[in-house]
């Protein structure tokens, strides 16, 4: 008991509050993060695909390839992402799914309502060169489900120029304080997603990359016990996003 109190006093008197760093995931949460339901709902598969879109290797318990790039880096205007990040879908296709840069062929919005198998095929083509060892067919199908059934029109929620998220921040506050705050804190600062020099909190991401915020809120965070809120619908996610844009950036 005395040891415990001493530790508590030490922690409380430390310069930064106890909750300023992300706590390690409890092992029971691996039940959710690293295993699968025996009877997955389609929504679960779609959100799995959404997390793969963020970082497929993490979701599949692998590492991103350290060398090379899809298509050998031979795209007309492939973004200049360095290192393994070049293998992430969003690097070329964007967090709004509309493609990065001037290459309109990277816009994936046309896939909505289409055949998910088309995505599997695209991943195997000479442009992408994702092998079945990297992304097995069943996992590739989940990416396909996400892109054909799980995408949404971001322009309905986010102003592409001002980056403002349309929503009702009063309703968003209620959802944020009761749900997101359990891991991110009431001010969104309980976890820092970047370094200590240039910290990134919920309020930072909400303003700098609202598309990433909405994508993550819907699909969860790869390899972490953050729930996918796909089932909520875009209205409430927009509300949460608009409230998140009022939270502190630093
Ligand atoms: C290095 C850039 C790059 C990365 C990374 C990348 N793509 Fe692509 N992708 C492209 C380009 C460029 C095209 C345009 C079509 C072409 O040139 O073949 C494309 C086309 C596609 C298409 C075909 C669209 C259609 O209309 O049929 C799909 C599907 C696709 N990508 C999915 C993905 C997914 C899923 C990932 C992540 C696992 C991914 N891409 C990663 C560059 C990339
Ligand atoms: C059960 C815990 C938990 C809940 C609830 C939760 N998150 Fe997270 N969230 C996490 C973890 C863990 C991370 C990853 C942090 C890291 O790796 O730095 C994360 C990361 C994020 C990121 C960072 C994305 C990026 O790539 O920078 C955003 C944005 C986010 N969460 C938004 C939300 C929103 C909005 C809600 C409520 C709808 C929410 N989270 C609810 C645990 C949670």
Of 111, 134, 151, the one marking the end of a domain is 151
Distance CA 107, CA 52 (A): 18
First to last CA, the chain: 36
Distance CA 50, CA 146 (A): 6
Distance CA 247, CA 206 (A): 9
Same domain membership, residue 44 and residue 121: yes
For 35, phi then psi, to 5°, come to -120, 180
Same domain membership, residue 93 and residue 44: yes
pLDDT for 20 equals: 43
- How many other CB atoms are there within 10 angstroms of residue 154's CB atom? 21
Nearest ligand for residue 70 CA: 1
Is residue 158 classed as helix, strand or coil in its secondary structure? strand
Sign of CA pseudo-dihedral 228, 230, 231, 233: positive
If you measure from the C-alpha of residue 199 to the centroid of ligand 2, how many angstroms do you get, rounded to a whole number? 15
- Residue 24 placed within a domain: no
Distance CA 202, CA 226 (A): 13
pLDDT for 18 equals: 41
Of 107, 127, 151, the one marking the end of a domain is 151
DSSP single-letter state for residue 83: G
Give the mutation target among 54, 70, 93 for probing the ligand 1 site: most ligand atoms within 8 A of CB.
93
Pocket of ligand 2 (CB under 6 A): 22, 179-180, 182-184, 191, 193, 202, 205, 212-213, 216-217, 221, 224-227, 229, 240, 244
pLDDT for 230 equals: 86
Nearest ligand for residue 184 CA: 2
Radius of gyration of the chain (CA): 19
pLDDT for 88 equals: 93
- Residue 27 placed within a domain: no
Tell me which residue range forms the domain holding 188: 156-244
Which residue numbers in the chain have pLDDT < 50?
1-20
pLDDT for 23 equals: 64
Same domain membership, residue 188 and residue 240: yes
Under a CB-based contact definition with an 8 Å cutoff, are residues 214 and 241 in contact?
Answer: yes
pLDDT for 217 equals: 97
* Model confidence pTM above 0.85: yes
Of 151, 176, 206, the one marking the end of a domain is 151
DSSP single-letter state for residue 114: S
**What CATH number has the domain bearing residue 205?**
1.10.760.10
Pocket of ligand 1 (CB under 6 A): 56, 69-70, 75, 78, 86-87, 89, 91-93, 103, 105-106, 108, 110-111, 118-119, 122-123, 127-128, 130, 143
Same domain membership, residue 63 and residue 147: yes
Total count of domains within the chain: 2
Single out the residue of 150, 155, 140 nearest to residue 112, CA to CA. Answer: 150
């Amino acid at each position: 008991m005395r040891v415990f109190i001493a530790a508590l006093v030490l922690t409380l008197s430390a310069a930064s509050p106890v909750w300023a760093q992300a706590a390690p995931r409890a092992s029971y949460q691996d039940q959710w993060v690293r295993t699968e339901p025996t009877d997955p709902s389609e929504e679960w598969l779609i959100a799995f695909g959404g997390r793969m879109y963020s970082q497929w290797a993490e979701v599949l318990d692998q590492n991103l390839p350290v060398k090379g790039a899809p298509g050998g880096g031979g795209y007309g205007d492939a973004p200049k992402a360095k290192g393994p990040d070049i293998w992430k879908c969003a690097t070329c296709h964007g967090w709004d799914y509309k493609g990065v840069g001037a290459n309109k062929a990277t816009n994936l919005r046309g896939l909505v309502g289409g055949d998910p198998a088309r995505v599997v095929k695209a991943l195997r083509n000479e442009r992408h060169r994702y092998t079945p060892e990297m992304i097995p067919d069943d996992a590739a199908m989940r990416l396909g489900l996400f892109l054909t059934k799980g995408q949404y029109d971001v322009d309905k929620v986010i102003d592409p120029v001002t980056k403002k998220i349309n929503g009702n921040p009063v309703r968003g506050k209620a959802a944020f304080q009761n749900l997101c705050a359990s891991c991110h804190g009431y001010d969104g600062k309980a976890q820092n997603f970047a370094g200590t020099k240039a910290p990134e909190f919920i309020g930072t991401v909400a303003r700098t990359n609202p598309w990433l915020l909405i994508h993550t809120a819907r699909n969860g965070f790869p390899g972490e016990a953050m729930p996918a809120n796909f089932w909520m619908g875009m209205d409430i996610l927009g509300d949460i996003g608009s409230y998140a844009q009022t939270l502190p950036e630093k």
